[in-house]
Structure 1
Amino acid sequence: MTIDIEHLITVFLGFFAIMNPIANTAVFLGLCSNQGADERRQIALRSLNICFVIVVCFALLGKLIFDLFGISLLALRLTGGILIFVVGYQMLHGTSAKMHQQQQGQEHSDIAISPLAVPILAGPGTIATAMNYSAGGWQNVLGSILAFTCLCFITYIAFINSQRIVSKLGNGGLAIVTRLMGLILAVIGMQMLIDGSDELYNMWTATTNS
């Protein structure tokens, strides 16, 4: 069984844009500013392990979830496209989506679980991306898991080097990265909407002609 390289690259870029590991490095450093290097490493590893398990579960059980709740791939493409486009639009204007923001007054007995793993890393957009790209066969599932594994490794490296990265990029560099990732996300979301709308039109045409 071979994995489509083009699909693998597309999935990786989609996950990279939605998770935005470079911008989230600043979030990670802010949440762990009072922790030592060893504690930051443990928090980064735990949060990414939890995030990985969540995304892989949705990638593997996507069809089962569809069948259980009566959800179609078309509905996921349309809804996921809108969701990802909104997140990208907000990032494009230099603001973080509410689903990725830390809530004021929230207690963080274990920040590796919340807010790092959920919803900053494995938020609704990431889950929707995983389910969308995993639909269509085991090749797509394996490609999505492989792409996400690579991204988790990159994110871990970024997190444990967060102080160095943030100091080199500065606020201006992080703002540029956020806007670029937002543009990519907005385009991905629009493409999902176009694909879903095209499929919906074809279904409507076939129904009216029959």
Structure 2
Amino acid sequence: MEQYWTFAITVFTGLFAITNPIANVPVFLGLTEGAGNVEKNRINKKATTTAFLIIMLFTLLGKFIFDFFGITIPAFKITGGLLIFYAGFRMLQSKKSNLKTLDTVDVDENIAISPLAIPLIAGPGTIVTTMNFVTDASYLYIGIVVAIAGLICWMNYLAFRYSTFIVDRIGNNVITVIGKIMGLIIAIIGTTMVIDGIKLVIEQA
């Protein structure tokens, strides 16, 4: 039982770091500037639901995708690890979110699909991280990943729903610091994936 809790905590940490609900708050506020509460809530529900469906799709079909394209687990771990490390590195290098760059965006409910669901929540880093957790995994572990993904998307929903309150109480500077910490965690996860991939290559040689 302990290994399941350990796995669940690892999945939660990885997905929380890569999706980063708190750091996404300024982006959501900027994209929905001028929208009413009802419209914001509708966009929020559509974005988080779509993101969950995308993550679940890749989680459940991960093995089929690997078999269909002939992708080996070591190759995926190394490539995916590099991508995740790069995503974390960019988060460490990025500056404070600037809402002014988003003020000119029209309030269109299509933003729920892009860029909110894709790539803000269910971006390449999220998909790669999720698929890494289910490679060569049993159905129970896959179920845990799906459940954690649902929890993460729900947390994004709550962060967006109370976005104004969060920014007023925490402030953009603290949100930026959180983003840096999450970036470091993501970079470490990426490095770990690369190391695991190299170990598998050596073992199979």
1:184 matched residue in structure 2: 185
Unaligned runs of 5+ in 1: 205-210
Partner amino acid, structure 1, of 2:118 = V
Q: Secondary structure at the match of 1:22?
A: coil
Residues 48, 117 of structure 1: 8 Å contact kept: yes
Quote the Cα distance in structure 1 between the aligned partners of 2:141 and 2:73: 14
2:128 matched residue in structure 1: 128
1:147 matched residue in structure 2: 148
Quote the Cα distance in structure 2 between the aligned partners of 1:64 and 1:45: 29
Q: Render the CA deviation track for 1:172-210: whole Å, top value 9, x for unaligned.
A: 101101100001101111111111111111122xxxxxx
Quote the Cα distance in structure 2 between the aligned partners of 1:107 and 1:33: 7
Residues 33, 107 of structure 2: 8 Å contact kept: no
Residues 3, 142 of structure 1: 8 Å contact kept: no
Partner amino acid, structure 2, of 1:33 = E
1:115 matched residue in structure 2: 115
Quote the Cα distance in structure 2 between the aligned partners of 1:31 and 1:113: 12
2:56 matched residue in structure 1: 56
Q: Secondary structure at the match of 1:4?
A: helix
1:30-109 superposed matches below 5 A: 30-95=30-95
Quote the Cα distance in structure 2 between the aligned partners of 1:124 and 1:26: 21
Partner amino acid, structure 2, of 1:188 = I
Partner amino acid, structure 2, of 1:81 = G
Residues 2, 139 of structure 1: 8 Å contact kept: no
Quote the Cα distance in structure 2 between the aligned partners of 1:58 and 1:117: 14
Q: Secondary structure at the match of 1:152?
A: helix
- Does the alignment pair 1:196 with 2:197? yes
- Does the alignment pair 1:18 with 2:29? no
Q: Render the CA deviation track for 1:24-65: whole Å, top value 9, x for unaligned.
A: 011111101111111111111101111111110100000100
Unaligned runs of 5+ in 2: none
Equivalences, count: 199
Q: Secondary structure at the match of 1:21?
A: coil
1:171 matched residue in structure 2: 172
Partner amino acid, structure 2, of 1:186 = A
Percent identity between the two aligned chains: 41
With over 3 angstroms needed to count, the CA separation of the structure-2 counterparts of 1:130 and 1:187, relative to structure 1, is same
Q: Render the CA deviation track for 1:113-155: whole Å, top value 9, x for unaligned.
A: 1111111111111110111111211122111011111111111
1:208 matched residue in structure 2: none
Partner amino acid, structure 1, of 2:87 = V
Root mean square deviation, CA, Å: 2.2
Q: Secondary structure at the match of 1:34?
A: coil
2:138 matched residue in structure 1: 137
With over 3 angstroms needed to count, the CA separation of the structure-2 counterparts of 1:89 and 1:118, relative to structure 1, is same
